[in-house]
Amino acid sequence: MAELLLFEALREGLQEEMDQDPRVLIMGEDVGHYGGSYKVTKGFSDKYGDLRLLDTPIAENSFTGMGIGAAMTGLRPVVEGMNMGFLLLAFNQIANNAGMLHYTSGGNFTIPIVIRGPGGVGRQLGAEHSQRLESYFQSVPGLQMVTCSTPYNAKGLIKSAIRTENPVIFFEHVLLYNLKQDLPESEFVVCLEEAELVRPGKDITILTYSRMRHHVLQATKNLVYNKYDPEIIDIISLKPFDLATIGASVCKTHKVLIIEECMRTGGIGATLRASIMEYFFDYLDAPIVCLSSQDVPTPYSGPLEELTVIQPSQIIKAVEQICEY
């Protein structure tokens, strides 16, 4: 076992795939000689050269389109958004081309591209650098979306994302890059479509992902001390949902709490709640509760920023109220 930070786990996963498959390349702003804004590609330029580590201009729409074109020709590009909020500038390329070209070409083209980068609410990064784009991309046909929450699933998921023939939006949280975990030295991958059962329990199903996984685990210490037994699932796959794992848990606990950092209106939680209501309504003994970020641009002020996202104390209170049913 080797202890790695999350950004190091991503680097190791990318490096393994680039070593095994010469079709894999990386492009984005400062990914080459600078090593990436969060050092995920540090040292790659010297090892793989400028043709496989493409330092691009500040032109997200252009280099994302170039990546999609490279995927159409048989390469396996990884496009880094220096900040996921910047990829709104490439929304047309991602939605109309990455997501749809396989279908609109009658299956003649596959688009094996990974679009990855840091996002989420950081520590006073301001509204434009605190975007949660999962709510923007979830309705685009043809895209897969996954999010990592630990060094283990970060490495395993990035390897699987590169190998799949589907276009994958790969979400990383800016505040999780320095999270540590012991990882196996042998090669491993993590399934893109499977949720992770983080903690088995019988009282309530808590569904979460990304940074909120760790807020839920923090709240769980208090809940367990007070004799609650929550089942925690990291949904990982934001599109499509792993309804088999989620449904099995709902059928066992009969109560559901969804925790997300995404916005409440049109967020992942709203879609997930609708799916549970559609397929597992008869197993519910209480209304589904969804705790989401407030529908406001993220403030620069530290105390105000903290108020816009869900905190462990709110999770504890919600579990206590739901379990009273």
d(CA 278, CA 51): 48
Query: Residues 90, 212: one domain?
Result: no
Residue 246 backbone dihedrals phi, psi, to 5 degrees: -65, -45
Q: Which helix (H) or strand (E) holds 77?
A: strand 76-80
| The one catalytic residue among 17, 29, 80, 129 | 129
Q: Which of 183, 207, 226 is the last residue of a domain?
A: 183
| Residues whose CB falls within 8 Å of the CB of residue 186, separated by 6 or more in sequence, listed in order | none
* Beta-sheet pairing, 53-55 with 24-28: parallel
**pLDDT at 233 (0 to 100):** 98
Residue range 215-240: mean pLDDT, rounded: 97
Q: Report helix, strand and coil shares of the chain as percent, to nearest 5.
A: 40, 20, 40
User: Which SS3 state, helix, strand or coil, does residue 49 take?
Assistant: coil
Q: How many domains does the chain have?
A: 2
**Does residue 16 carry a catalytic annotation?**
no
Does 104 lie in the same domain as 18?
yes
pLDDT digits (tens, 9 = 90+) for 265-312: 999 999 999 999 999 999 999 999 999 999 999 999 999 999 999 999
> Does one domain contain both 272 and 201?
yes
pLDDT band with cut points at 50, 70 and 90 for residue 1: confident
Q: Out of 8, 60, 134, 196, which one is annotated catalytic?
A: 60
Domain boundary among 162, 183, 204: 183
**140 and 68 in a common domain:** yes
Amino acid residing at 142? G
Same domain, yes or no: 30 and 112: yes
Q: What percent of the chain has pLDDT over 70?
A: 100
Is 129 an annotated catalytic residue? yes
pTM of the model: 0.95
Pull the structure tokens for residue 143: 């895209």
Residue 190 in any domain: the answer is no
Look up the domain containing 286 and give its range: 196-322
Same domain (yes/no): 98, 160: yes
Parallel, antiparallel, or unpaired: how do β-strands 144-147 and 237-239 relate? Answer: antiparallel
Q: Are residues 153 and 208 in the same domain?
A: no
Give the length of the chain: 325
